[in-house]
Amino acid sequence: MRAKTVVDFALQFGVKLSLNEELLVQTDGRFFLLNSQIKSLVKDNFFYAGTFLGKVKNSKFFPSFTLLSMIAKQQEANRILVDRKVGWLFICGRDIFKKGVMRTYGKIQRNSHVLVFNEFGECLGFGRVLAGLEQQADKNVVAVANVLDVGDFLRRERDL
């Protein structure tokens, strides 16, 4: 069940993750992937362990950035590439205009989710495709709406 939540999330990006259910643990609605080294150190009252995959809140799954990076490592992941300036605006919580998309990879369909990569191939977060990304589309429309970006770490620091 735990694995299914995470695997289903990855499928939205066209990626089939295989996770060993034996190494998945959960506390407080948060999912973690262990490795064999740390498995024996994890007791009932743990606060965090291994690789944080995401959390379920009000029946909705919120991925961690580590999970997004795991998905991003797969060749087949649906993704768009943006330059430094557009990447920075995305990190600040902004949506991405069609003209800001340098390249696309995988199957990009309206309403589907895409990872957002910077020019170094690092995952900055993900968004939802709002408009067609094909050549002839209007360049001044919002193409990808921001869903989650790494600027979240700064927002979390501020809220602590």
Partner 1 sequence: MVSFFCKVFIFLFFFLVLMSGREFFVSRYEQLGWKYRPVKLRQAIRFNCANIKSQDLISRLSCLGLNLEKISFLPHGYWVCDSSVSAGATAEYLLGLYSVQEAAAQIPVILFTDLKGKTVLDASAAPGGKTVQLADSMDNTGSIVAIDINKRRLTALTNHLERCHVKNAVVYQIDARNSPKLGLKFDCVLVDAPCSGNFASDPMWFQNRTLQDVERNARVQREMLMKAAECLTDDGEIVYSTCSLEPEENELNIDWALHRLDLQVAEINCTGTPGLTNIFGKQLDPSVACCRRFWPDPTQGFFVCKLVRRHT
Interface with partner 1 in residues 96-115 (CB under 8 A): none
Q: Shortest gap between Cβ of 38 and partner 1 (angstroms)?
A: 5
Q: Shortest gap between Cβ of 132 and partner 1 (angstroms)?
A: 27
Residue 10, helix vs strand vs coil: helix
Query: CA-CA distances (angstroms) from residue 4 to 9, 19, 38, 88, 155?
Result: 8, 9, 23, 33, 29
Whole-angstrom distance, CA of residue 71 vs CA of residue 141: 27
Six-digit token pair at 114?
Answer: 């895409």
Q: Does 19 bind partner 1 (CB under 8 A)?
A: no
Q: Shortest gap between Cβ of 160 and partner 1 (angstroms)?
A: 6
Measured from the CB atom, the residue of 1 and 160 that comes closer to partner 1 is: 160
Whole-angstrom distance, CA of residue 102 vs CA of residue 96: 11
> Judged by CB under 8 A, which of 9, 13, 31, 65 binds partner 1?
65
Measured from the CB atom, the residue of 45 and 140 that comes closer to partner 1 is: 45
Q: Burial code of 20-53, b = ≥16 C-beta within 10 A, e = fewer? A: eeebbbeeeebbbbbeeeeeeebeeeeeebbbbb
Return the number of other C-beta atoms located less than 10 Å from residue 4's C-beta: 10
What mask of x and - would describe binding to partner 1 in positions 23 to 62, judged by CB under 8 A? Answer: ------------x-xx--xxx-xxxxxxxx----------
Q: Does 89 bind partner 1 (CB under 8 A)?
A: no
Measured from the CB atom, the residue of 138 and 153 that comes closer to partner 1 is: 153
Residues near partner 1 (CB under 8 A): 35, 37-38, 41-43, 45-52, 64-66, 69, 84, 87-88, 91, 118, 120, 122, 124, 150-151, 153-154, 156-157, 160
